[in-house]
């Protein structure tokens, strides 16, 4: 049994939905379908979810929202017309939206219900379309499916009892179409996951039904081993592990909402990323474990916007608790640290620039000076991190050598290196303006 999730661009219009129907028909194992709301049909298009958010904001600001609603209705009308199915969804959306706005719910709950309308309506449309093709298919509301969530509007967390309920979907002998992005609290409130939450629904459902495979259909053929805006036509990754995916997505790979993978990861369900526009393509499969590869490096990721706080103190190394105190100061300001490379008497903490406002920086530096009495403290900006990622790296002599040599060839100074004892990745810190030449040089070293 497979769970297939189709993203916004895969359900953006009738033509895309026809491809989706073909994909579903192609494989009888595709029994549970999770869908996003219609996304962009062309680059300047507006996603239905964004239209619904704008609609809500207009309503809350006591502005006219009918124009936004009409655009949403028009999009669905175009779809039903081209698919040659009933257009009763138009009235349902209209009544639904008016009902939400007129309800006694809080603004946060109203917004979540509005946002969910895109997924919910599209699931109904797809189900009707599949039926019109003679398939046994049904729309299933997430509440009926058993997706119970916490009461955090806009960032629902799945409740564990959902999984047992979802497992019962295996008993159905029909194709079930579930809207992504939302669930219900125990007392029946509709709550959405964080943005991109249809991936989360797909992953939860795949874990719940103990799927053999969770297929995530998007608009790229596969995950590339390097950012294609830096290297032209890079190699595709056919298979990677959850850990590798995490390390890559951390530093700039945005194919997958990595939090979305947790349910699938915990239930050990393989995840396949495929292209709705090229379903015969291999795609990229994400698994727990894989066979050792001749080239252990699977990808090179990079991201900018990091800064380093550097602290040095003679004999720091003998001072029990120094590092812990430094991390406590950051934690008190709600700052996550990324890495902590260290010498004997110095310690750097790498953090995301976005997590350090000017005021936080002043407080942090003042506290470090006051509480840790260091010899020097300094902040280094405009850093980029490059991750060379691969699960087999821990048993291959010479990888660090090859990687560092690539930096030398690109004439880039390595500001920082950090490699965990797991060796799933090597991290290099460089000046942000040297990212492109560094990534190119690493790509040439490991993939050409």
What residue ranges bind a second copy (CB under 8 A)? 242-243, 246-247, 250, 258-259, 262, 265-266, 308, 310, 312, 314-315, 317-318, 320-321, 323-324, 327-328, 331, 334, 336-348, 380, 387, 394-398, 400-401, 403-405, 407-408, 411-427, 429
> Is 218 annotated for ligand binding?
yes
**Smallest separation (angstroms) from a second copy to the CB of 191:** 20
Query: Residue written as tokens 């298919």?
Result: 137
Specify the residue, 22 or 328, whose C-beta has the smaller distance to a second copy: 328
Annotation-wise, does 8 bind a ligand?
Answer: yes
Taking the least distance from each CB to a second copy, the nearer of 32 and 260 is: 260
Torsional class of 341: left (φ above 0), alpha (ψ -120 to 50), beta (otherwise): beta
CA 444, CA 218: separation in Å to the nearest integer? 28
| Residue 49 annotated in ligand binding | yes
Instruction: Pick between residue 228 and residue 343 the one whose CB is nearest to a second copy.
Output: 343
Question: Could you count the other beta carbons within 10 Å of the beta carbon of residue 188?
Answer: 7
Helix 358-372 × helix 322-332 angle, to 10°: 150
**In whole angstroms, how close is the CB of 317 to a second copy at the nearest point?**
7
What token pair was written down for 336? 């996550």
Cα–Cα distance measured from residue 424 to residue 247, given in angstroms and rounded to the nearest whole number? 8
The DSSP secondary structure of 401-427, one letter per residue, reads HHHHHHHHHTT----EEEE-TT-SEEE
Cβ nearer to a second copy, comparing 155 with 278: 155
Min dist. Cβ of residue 31 to a second copy (A) = 27
The DSSP bridge partners found for residue 427 are 387, 418
**For the purposes of burial, counting CB atoms within 10 Å of the CB of 229, is it exposed (0-12), middle (13-18) or buried (19 or more)?**
exposed
Q: Report whether 180 belongs to an annotated binding site.
A: no
Q: Which is nearer to a second copy, 17 or 441 (CB)?
A: 441
Q: Is 250 known as a binding-site position?
A: no
Q: Which is nearer to a second copy, 214 or 242 (CB)?
A: 242
Smallest distance, a second copy to C-beta of residue 75, A: 35
Closest to 21 (Cα-Cα) out of 79, 78, 74: 79
**184 in a labelled binding site:** no
Q: How far apart are CA 341 and CA 398, in angstroms?
A: 21
Least spacing, CB of residue 329 vs a second copy, in Å: 10
> Is 7 annotated as belonging to a binding site?
yes
Smallest separation, CB 327 to a second copy (Å):
4
Q: How many CA atoms lie within 13 A of 313 on its CB side?
A: 19
Contact between residue 274 and residue 283 where contact means Cβ atoms under 8 Å apart: yes
Nearest distance from residue 35's CB to a second copy, in Å?
26
CB nearer to a second copy: pick between 38 and 252:
252
Binding-site residues for ATP, in ranges, read 5-8, 218-219, 224
Binding-site residues for substrate, in ranges, read 49, 119
Binding-site residues, in ranges, read 5-8, 49, 119, 218-219, 224
């Amino acid at each position: 049994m497979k769970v297939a999730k189709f993203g916004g661009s895969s359900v953006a219009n009738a033509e895309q939905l026809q491809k989706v129907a073909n994909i579903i028909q192609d494989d009888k194992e595709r029994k549970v379908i999770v869908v996003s709301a219609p996304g962009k049909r062309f680059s300047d298009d507006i996603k239905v979810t964004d239209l619904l958010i704008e609609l809500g904001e207009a309503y809350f600001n006591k502005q006219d929202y009918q124009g936004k609603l009409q655009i949403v209705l028009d999009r669905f009308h175009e779809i039903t017309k081209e698919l040659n199915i009933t257009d009763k969804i138009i009235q349902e959306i209209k009544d639904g939206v008016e009902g939400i706005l007129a309800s006694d719910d809080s603004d946060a709950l109203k917004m979540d219900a509005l946002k969910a309308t895109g997924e919910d309506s599209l699931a109904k449309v797809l189900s009707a379309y599949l039926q019109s093709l003679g398939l046994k298919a049904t729309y299933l509301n997430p509440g009926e499916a058993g997706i119970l969530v916490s009461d955090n509007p806009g960032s629902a967390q799945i409740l564990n009892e959902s999984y047992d309920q979802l497992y019962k979907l295996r008993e159905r002998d029909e194709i079930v179409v579930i809207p992504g992005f939302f669930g219900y609290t125990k007392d029946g409130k509709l709550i959405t996951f964080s943005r991109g939450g249809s991936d989360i629904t797909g992953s939860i459902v795949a874990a719940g039904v103990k799927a053999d495979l969770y297929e995530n259909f998007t608009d790229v053929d596969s995950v590339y081993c390097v950012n294609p805006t830096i290297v032209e036509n890079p190699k595709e990754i056919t298979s990677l592990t959850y850990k590798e995916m995490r390390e890559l997505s951390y530093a700039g790979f945005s194919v997958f909402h990595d939090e979305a993978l947790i349910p699938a990861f915990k239930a050990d369900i393989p995840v396949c990323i495929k292209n709705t526009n090229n379903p015969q393509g291999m795609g990229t499969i994400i698994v727990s474990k894989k066979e050792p590869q001749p080239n252990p490096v699977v990808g090179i990721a990079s991201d900018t916007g990091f800064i380093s706080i550097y602290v040095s103190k003679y004999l720091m190394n003998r001072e029990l608790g120094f590092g812990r105190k430094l991390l406590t100061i950051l934690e008190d300001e709600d700052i996550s640290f990324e890495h902590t490379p260290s010498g004997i008497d110095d310690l750097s903490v790498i953090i995301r620039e976005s997590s350090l406002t000017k005021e936080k920086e002043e407080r942090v530096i003042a506290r470090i000076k006051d509480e840790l009495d260091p010899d020097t403290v300094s902040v280094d900006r405009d850093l980029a991190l490059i991750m060379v990622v691969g699960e087999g790296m821990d048993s291959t002599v010479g990888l660090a050598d090859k990687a560092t040599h690539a930096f030398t060839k690109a004439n880039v100074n390595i500001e920082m290196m950090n490699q965990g004892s797991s060796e799933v990745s090597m991290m290099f810190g460089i000046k942000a303006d040297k990212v492109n030449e560094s990534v190119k040089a690493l790509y040439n070293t490991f993939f050409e």
